[in-house]
Amino acid sequence: MMHIFHTSGSILTGSDLGEALLLYANALTTQRHKDTVDMLVVDERGRTAHAAVVIGYGSPVAGFPAKGTGRELVDPDRLDALCRRTRDELMPAGSTSKIGERTLLD
């Protein structure tokens, strides 16, 4: 699990989801873009929920491992979407690349 701190507060999300969010935030920042991302999170009561997180240029984020937080959140579709968005920021339309959906996390 991972704690993500952003301009509006913090969230607790899965490790892979958190890493993908940080990579996407970095890609947005380098392009001077922003986005709002719907993230799967664990709320204060320990339930799975959703949170909107603004990331990118002018919206700093930081992530830290969260230990002893229970089950790992996994959402393959959301993970693939974040990887795709990161790739699209780094490789604009018309560029060629062999970057796969999840290669960005390896």
Band (pLDDT 50/70/90 cuts) for residue 102 is very low
Q: What is the pTM of this model?
A: 0.85
Q: Is 70 left (phi over 0), alpha (psi -120 to 50) or beta?
A: left
- Residue 93 has what pLDDT? 63
* pLDDT recorded at residue 96: 54
Torsion, Cα 18 24 25 28, to 10 degrees, reads: -170
In the structure encoding, which two tokens stand for residue 106, read together?
A: 């390896």
Domain chopping of the chain, boundaries: 2-105
Do 41 and 72 form a contact (C-beta atoms < 8 A)? Answer: no
* Residue 27, pLDDT score: 95
